[in-house]
Amino acid sequence: MTPGQDRKNRRGVPAVYATRRDLLKAGVGSSVALLLSSGRLGAQPRPLIERAIPSTGERVPVIGIGTARRWEAVTTPAEMAPLREVLRQFSGRGGKVIDTAPSYGTAESVAGELVADLGVRGSVFLATKVGAAGRQAGLEQVEASFRRLRTSRVDLIAVHNLRDIATQLQTLRELKQEGRIRYVGMTTSFPRQYPEFERTMRTETLDFIQVDYALDSRGAAATILPLAADRGMAVMINLPFGRGRLFQAVQGRALPPWASDFDCTSWAQFFLKYIVSHPAVTCCVPGTAKVEYLLDNLGAAQGRLPDAATRRRMEEFIERL
Ligand SMILES: NC(=O)c1ccc[n+]([C@@H]2O[C@H](COP(=O)([O-])OP(=O)(O)OC[C@H]3O[C@@H](n4cnc5c(N)ncnc54)[C@H](OP(=O)(O)O)[C@@H]3O)[C@@H](O)[C@H]2O)c1
């Protein structure tokens, strides 16, 4: 039985999580456990909004999972359990994009182990990175990623923070030719790297770029996002919450009533819907290590999205805080 085909009881709750205690044991937060066990969140998952990767037309849901930080120091079964449940629910609800990196401690191997264990390799989109100097070091790092991710084909490998970009891009293109990776890209989350990032976007053919973009940190929208659209590059957004900075900015505040006009029921969805409603954005990878956050974040890939005028209103709202 695949994760999407769990037996459901009459309330639509997977039979394996029939009680609140089961849910809590699996590392599900108490408020979500209550909702799931009451059937309110356990109903049939709704389809997720998808976007096409320009170089192939393949579609991916706009919300994925980032594995920096919370997946980086995971060694015990108790630490693995909530992540396993995150991935099981993610995949069961149609989620695909999982972003990791060899520099994220245990994240790559934990993701590889859980994806293999859950038997979901066929449905998820594994994105990792190479951050090494020199051809040999890059090749060795990539081979280690294949082993840790327990797969013979990685969906996307991106050059991490532009490190030794020319050398690593050449290696990645060879791997793509050999059919071992499907897409090639590069990443940054540092505005000081934007000029070099933009130059590289203009001169190289890339399937994906990954860049930071958040409601209160919109520098990428000036040139990088429009350039990606012009150059036919898919865009994966990192740091969508500014590592939690945005939640601090709105602490103690209620959502504005007009958030319901675009089916937004939480601050996380407010921040994520702002990002994925940018026309150049393909997907976004919020750091996710709790089921409660996963279900919340996937809500941003459902229902209506803000239009251009509402996006401006959201910007003004955050600027006034
Ligand atoms: N240069 C690069 O290539 C680069 C750089 C940075 C990041 N990335 C990628 O981008 C991903 C995202 O960045 P990030 O994880 O550092 O930062 P982020 O996504 O901006 O913030 C993640 C934090 O937000 C909190 N959160 C998540 N969902 C929430 C929800 N629904 N409600 C309340 N809080 C929520 C969690 O905090 P707590 O867990 O603390 O509660 C989580 O650790 C990374 O995981 C990584 O895959 C790539």
DSSP string, 113-181: HHHHHHT-TTT-EEEEEE--SSHHHHHHHHHHHHHHHT-S-EEEEEEGGGTTHHHHHHHHHHHHHTTSE
SS3 210: strand
Burial class from Cβ neighbours inside 10 Å (0-12, 13-18, 19+) for residue 173 reads: middle
> Is the predicted pLDDT of residue 25 greater than 80, yes or no?
no
Does the beta carbon of 102 lie inside 6 Å of ligand 1?
Answer: no
Nearest to 274 by CA among 221, 233, 232: 221
Pocket-testing residue among 128, 293, 294, ligand 1, by greatest number of atoms within 8 A of Cβ: 293
CA of 239 to the centre of ligand 1 (A): 6
> Is the predicted pLDDT of residue 34 greater than 60, yes or no?
no
Does the beta carbon of 191 lie inside 6 Å of ligand 1?
Answer: no
Tokens at residue 86, please? 């995150």
Identify the pLDDT of residue 11.
Answer: 31
CA of 151 to the centre of ligand 1 (A): 25
CA of 136 to the centre of ligand 1 (A): 31
Nearest to 41 by CA among 66, 14, 64: 14
Does the beta carbon of 262 lie inside 6 Å of ligand 1?
Answer: no
CA of 312 to the centre of ligand 1 (A): 24
CB-based contacts of 174, cutoff 8 Å, min separation 6 = none
Reported residue count of the chain is 321
* pLDDT tens for each residue of 168-204: 999 999 999 999 999 999 999 999 999 999 999 999 9
> Is the predicted pLDDT of residue 44 greater than 50, yes or no?
yes
CA–CA dist 63, 192 (Å, integer): 26
Instruction: Please state whether the predicted TM-score (pTM) of the whole model is above 0.85.
Output: yes
Which range, of 1-15, 71-85, 108-122, 219-233, averages the lowest pLDDT?
1-15
Q: Whose CA is nearest to atom 48 of ligand 1?
A: 238
Query: What does R_g of the chain's alpha carbons equal in angstroms?
Result: 19
Tokens at residue 8, please? 């459901």
Does the beta carbon of 318 lie inside 6 Å of ligand 1?
Answer: no
